[in-house]
Chains A and B, each alone.
Chain A
Amino acid sequence: MSYPSERLSEEVAFLSYYLHWPRDQVMALSHAERQHWVAEVSRLHERLNEASSRGR
């Protein structure tokens, strides 16, 4: 029933790396909210990638 721990570490590292939020704050997010911010950052990446590939 628990969240896969590898996936959990990946998500915490991902948000900490890109948003620079303190570890305790990221660790205290609910699974749903953490997933929401992971998706938002990924969406930003996609947009930036599309923009840079159009600029080439």
Chain B
Amino acid sequence: MTESAEHPFLLPHGYRDAEGTLHREGRMRMSTAFDEIAPLKDPRVQSNPAYLLIILLSRVITHLGTLEFINPKVMEGLPSGDLLYLQDVYRRLNETGHTRLRVACPHCEQQFEVETSPVGES
């Protein structure tokens, strides 16, 4: 029922690591009940519920550029525009099973889907 296990995305800004390398292309998998429940026990989420987003994203993002590990520290280092973008990708992926947007042509009113992650462009 799901189209594929992981979905590509392209961060609007990107994560710059300690060596100055920019990482923008990534992949996100669909989340599970365990992904949502496990972070609730984390003391960082208990003291600041907004931290749930950081933990959740670090669990479901499987690749980001050439980074070997994705962890909450990486998510903390993302520009807020990227966090907002990833929040939107997460919501669409888990609500619809894909990250495409359903839009309508303003002239002919025909509906179609557009890809929001132009992976490969820079």
Contacts and interface: CB of A to CB of B under 8 A. Distances in A.
Given A30-B30, A31-B30, A31-B31, A2 B1 contact: no
Give the bracket for the number of chain B residues in contact with chain A: 10 to 19
A8 B97 CA distance: 18
Contacts of A32: 1-2, 30, 94, 97
A32 B30 CA distance: 9
Given A1-B53, A3-B33, A8-B36, 20 more contacts: A1-B56, A1-B90, A2-B36, A2-B56, A3-B36, A11-B33, A12-B33, A28-B33, A29-B33, A30-B2, A30-B32, A30-B94, A31-B30, A31-B32, A31-B33, A32-B1, A32-B30, A32-B97, A33-B2, A34-B32
